[in-house]
Amino acid sequence: MVQIKWTDQAVLDLKEIADYISRDSKKYAKHQIQSIKQRTQILKKNPFSGQILDFFNHPEVRQLVEGNYLIIYRIKSELRIDIVSIHHTSRDLAKRKLEL
């Protein structure tokens, strides 16, 4: 089975999302973070289920959508996937510097 590794950037993104949402609702912040984490579990059985991100010009860099968030991940091998970043769809992805 595929191992999912969260990069430091992705963990920081989750923290920032939780902090931002919790200003209005701690309950909804917790729910949103759980939804994002749960969505990544599909990758254990179907690592190619996400859409290829043409922006990065790497077929192994893909995205899953969960609500208003893009879960950007990279297939490192048959046994490992790195969650690279969690990105809100209202923000310009081109302005983010992501370590792939």
Q: How far apart are CA 65 and CA 76, in angstroms?
A: 20
User: Would you say residue 53 lies in a domain?
Assistant: yes
pLDDT at 53: 85
CATH number, domain at 29? 3.30.2310.20
pTM tops 0.85, yes or no: yes
pLDDT tens digits for 1-30?
789 999 999 999 999 999 999 999 999 999
User: Would you say residue 70 lies in a domain?
Assistant: yes
Range of the domain at 69: 3-88
Q: What is the domain count for the chain?
A: 1
Q: Alpha-carbon torsion 77, 80, 81, 83, what sign? A: negative
pLDDT tens digits for 33-91?
999 999 999 999 999 999 998 777 788 999 999 999 999 999 999 999 999 999 988 77
Q: What 3-state DSSP class applies to 5?
A: strand
